[in-house]
């Protein structure tokens, strides 16, 4: 299955990209699994594993790392929000 992955703010800058489309290998079934897959690419992607209090949104709703994935999902990783 293929998912769209987005990155925002300091994480986007650290990774040097704001989005990518990714075909997931079998066995990656949750947003946490996707995070681990990306972080395993090495620098600078390990920022996904080291960002303090990393937040995840699945189809534009905040979720925990155990949220299940399906084809066509939009997954966003970002640091804690600082608006207002």
- Taking CB under 8 A as the criterion, the residue among 9, 40, 49, 65 binding another protein is 9
How many residues are present in the chain?
84
Q: Regarding beta strands 2-7 and 74-78, do their DSSP bridges make them parallel or antiparallel, or are they unpaired?
A: parallel
| Least Å from the CB of residue 84 to another protein | 4
- Quickly tell me which residue has 């929000």 as its tokens: 81
6 binds another protein (CB under 8 A): yes
Residue 21 binds to another protein (criterion: CB under 8 A): no
1 near 24, Cβ under 8 Å?
yes
List of residues contacting another protein (CB under 8 A) = 6, 8-10, 13, 53, 57, 60-62, 76, 78-84
């Amino acid at each position: 299955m293929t998912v769209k992955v987005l990155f925002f703010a300091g994480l986007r800058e650290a990774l040097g990209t704001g989005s990518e489309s990714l075909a997931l290998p079998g066995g990656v079934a949750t947003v946490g699994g996707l995070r681990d897959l990306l972080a395993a690419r090495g620098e600078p992607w390990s920022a996904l594993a080291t960002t303090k209090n990393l937040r995840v949104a699945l189809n534009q709703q905040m979720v925990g790392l155990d949220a299940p994935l399906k084809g066509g999902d939009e997954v966003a990783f970002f640091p804690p929000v600082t608006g207002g």
